[in-house]
Amino acid sequence: MPQRPTPTSPDPGRPRRGRRRALGAALASAGLLGGVLAVPASGAETADEGPELIVNGDFSDGTTGWWWTENSPGAVDDGKLCVEVPGGTVEPWDAIVGQDGIPLQEGESYTLSFTATSTVPIVARTNVQMATEPWDQEHSSADVIDDSGEQVTHVFTAAADHEAAQLAYQIGGSAEPFTFCLEQVSLRGGAEPPVYEPDTGSPVRVNQVGYLTDGPKRGTFVTTATSPLNWSLRDAGGTERASGSTSPAGVDPTSRENVHTFDFSEVTEPGEGWTVTIDGETSDPFAIGDDLYSSLRTDALAYFYHNRSGIEIDADLVGEEYARPAGHVDVAPNQGDGDVPCQPGVCDYRLDVTGGWYDAGDHGKYVVNGGISVAQVMSAYERTLVVDGADGDALGDGSLRVPERGNGVPDILDEARWQLDFLMRMQVPAGEPLAGMAHHKMHDRAWTGLPLLPHQDPQPRELHPPSTAATLNLAAAAAQCARLFEPYDADFAGQCLESARTAWDAARANPARYADPNDGQGGGAYSDNDVTDEFYWAAAELFITTGEDTYRQALLGSPLHGDTDAVFPRGGMSWAQTAGVGALNLATVDNGLTAAQLAQVRRMVTEAADGYAADAASAAYGVPYAPENGEYVWGSNSQVLNNMVVLATAHDLTGDASYRDAVLSGLDYLLGRNPLNLSYVTGYGERYSKNQHHRHWANQLNPDLPNPAPGSVAGGPNSSLQDPIAQRYLQGCAPAMCYIDHIESWATNEITINWNAPLAWIASYTDDLGRGDDGGDDGGDDGGTNGQCEVTYSAHRWDSGFTGQVSVRNTGSSPVSPWELRWSFPDDQRITQAWNAEVTQTGRDVVARPLSWNGTIEPGGTVSFGFNGSSGAQAADPAAFTLNAGACQVR
Contact residues for ligand 9MR, defined by CB under 6 A: 2, 359-360, 362, 364, 524-526, 634-635, 746, 750, 752
CA–CA separation, 615 vs 609, rounded Å?
10
Torsion of CA 271, 277, 278, 283, to 10 degrees: 80
CA–CA separation, 845 vs 881, rounded Å?
11
State the nearest-atom distance from the C-beta of 632 to ligand 9MR, in Å: 12
Residue 233 and residue 242 in contact, taking contact as beta carbons nearer than 8 Å: yes
Q: How far is CA 210 from CA 213, 267, 292, 605, in A?
A: 9, 13, 7, 28
Closest CA to 475 of 432, 420, 413: 420
State the nearest-atom distance from the C-beta of 407 to ligand 9MR, in Å: 31
Closer to ligand 9MR by CB, 214 or 533: give it. 533
Closer to ligand 9MR by CB, 337 or 362: give it. 362
SS3 sequence of 266-291: CCCCCEEEEEEEECCEECCCEEEECC
Closer to ligand 9MR by CB, 363 or 809: give it. 363
Closest CA to 437 of 510, 355, 357, 350: 510
CA–CA separation, 658 vs 297, rounded Å?
23
Closer to ligand 9MR by CB, 525 or 544: give it. 525
List the alpha helices (DSSP H) in 713-850: 724-729, 746-749, 753-771
Q: How far is CA 156 from CA 46, 146, 703, in A?
A: 12, 24, 35
Closer to ligand 9MR by CB, 359 or 668: give it. 359
Closer to ligand 9MR by CB, 181 or 670: give it. 670
State the nearest-atom distance from the C-beta of 579 to ligand 9MR, in Å: 17
Start-to-end CA distance of the chain, whole Å, equals 51
Residue 588 and residue 221 in contact, taking contact as beta carbons nearer than 8 Å: no
Closer to ligand 9MR by CB, 525 or 791: give it. 525
State the nearest-atom distance from the C-beta of 571 to ligand 9MR, in Å: 11
Catalytic residue among 750, 767, 768, 877: 750
> 3-state DSSP: the chain helix, strand, coil percent, rounded to 5?
25, 25, 50
Closer to ligand 9MR by CB, 360 or 613: give it. 360
CA–CA separation, 863 vs 399, rounded Å?
7
Q: Residues 6 or more apart from 140 whose CB is under 8 A from it? A: 125, 126, 127, 128, 129
Going 315 to 297 to 402 to 328, the CA torsion angle's sign is positive
Closer to ligand 9MR by CB, 211 or 526: give it. 526
Closer to ligand 9MR by CB, 581 or 789: give it. 581
CA–CA separation, 700 vs 690, rounded Å?
9
Q: Cα-flanking dihedrals φ and ψ of residue 839, to 5°?
A: -120, 125
Helix (H) or strand (E) holding 721: none
CA–CA separation, 363 vs 328, rounded Å?
9
Closer to ligand 9MR by CB, 283 or 752: give it. 752
CA–CA separation, 499 vs 495, rounded Å?
6
SS3 sequence of 842-890: ECCEEEEECCCCCCCECCCCEEEEEEEEECCCCCCCCCCEEECCEECEE
Closer to ligand 9MR by CB, 359 or 877: give it. 359
534 is catalytic: no
CA–CA separation, 745 vs 329, rounded Å?
29
Angle, CA 429 vertex, CA 425 and CA 432 arms, to 5°: 145
CA–CA separation, 437 vs 510, rounded Å?
8
741 is catalytic: yes
DSSP, collapsed to helix, strand or coil, labels residue 458 as coil
Closer to ligand 9MR by CB, 2 or 310: give it. 2
Residue 353 and residue 346 in contact, taking contact as beta carbons nearer than 8 Å: no
- Within the chain, what is the greatest distance between any pair of CA atoms? 90
Instruction: Specify which residues 461 forms β-bridges with.
Output: 444
CA–CA separation, 600 vs 586, rounded Å?
10
CA–CA separation, 591 vs 484, rounded Å?
14
Chain residue at closest Cβ approach to ligand 9MR: 524
Q: How far is CA 433 from CA 173, 341, 349, 427, 881, in A?
A: 41, 15, 10, 11, 62
In 490-501, which positions are buried (b, 16+ CB within 10 angstroms) versus exposed (e)?
Answer: eebbebbbebbb
- Count of Cβ atoms closer than 10 Å to residue 830 Cβ: 12
330 is catalytic: no
Catalytic residue among 693, 694, 696, 742: 693
Positions marked catalytic: 693, 741, 750
